[in-house]
Amino acid sequence: MTGRERAPRTSGATVIELDVRDDGVGVLTLNGPPLNLITREATRQLLEATARVAEDPRVRVLVITGAGDRAFCAGADVTEFADVRAEVVERKLRRENEAMTAIEGLPIPTIAAIGGVCLGGGAELALACDLRVADAGAVIGFPEVGLGVFPGSGGVFRLPRVVGLGRALDLLYSGRRISADEALRIGLVTEVTAPGAALQRALERGAALASGPALALRLIKSGARDSLTQTTAQAVDASLADSARVFTGPDIEEGLAAFAQKRPPRFTAPREIEARPAKEEGLS
């Protein structure tokens, strides 16, 4: 690994850590064992770490995991509820939704490595990722209904997109926990590993993706996600525009050469980084 970055210690302990590996895989760790709860401070640090990933051309894939062996993330810190109930949107949920949306919108592949329990806000965090790799002992659920509330940070709209409306409502209505095998069967996770092996498998998959064509992967992600809210005509237009980009982009020459020479391609073009608005750069 090339180094570890920590969220600034402006308040509270560092509970989000970001490692950037030599193979282009960033590893974002929820470091609040044993349960790795989503507190307001964790949300703040998660937003900061996600912004650093978005701006760091070294990171071509992001893997999100939880520290320890008990939980990926057991959800929200319920002890904070009494303090935020009267202003829950502004003091908690809006920022959580910003964090989940920022992760979902990263222009790189993202993988959740799920070990142990993955509940409530932790499951919402996993849903914000593109792929979910779970170990055989993982347990996933949305237990919010038992507290008289519901998943307010993306669960009610991201879960149906992944598993379908009927299965999503079953999980959300009941609050029941499901095994990794059931999660795989309904499409909630994409792969199940041996116990304790989810992170290693996610890193392997991440390394393979990081060696791929960054522009094509970025456009695959945006095209697939955007299609959920597009008409067919809009999706066709977007796909044609993106096709023009990859056919004139930095990776096609290597792809064609590797095909002709019957060898694996070696894509080395850097990941694109979008420029910040001028105001953010202090230029206006």
* CA 41 remoteness from chain centre: 19
Instruction: Please pick, among 144, 182, 191, 272, the residue that the annotation labels catalytic.
Output: 144
> How many angstroms separate the Cα of 58 from the Cα of each of 53, 212, 216, 260?
9, 14, 17, 29
φ and ψ of 65, to 5 deg: -145, 170
**Beta-carbon neighbour count of residue 29 at 10 Å?**
22
Instruction: Please pick, among 17, 55, 124, 272, the residue that the annotation labels catalytic.
Output: 124
The residue among 6, 190, 32 whose CA lies nearest residue 112 is 190
Query: Is 198 exposed, middle or buried (CB count within 10 Å of its CB: 0-12, 13-18, 19+)?
Result: buried
Structure-token match 């995991």, residue found: 65
Residue 255 near residue 213, CB atoms below 8 Å: yes
- Is 204 noted as a catalytic residue in this protein? no
- Is 124 noted as a catalytic residue in this protein? yes
Active site residues: 124, 144
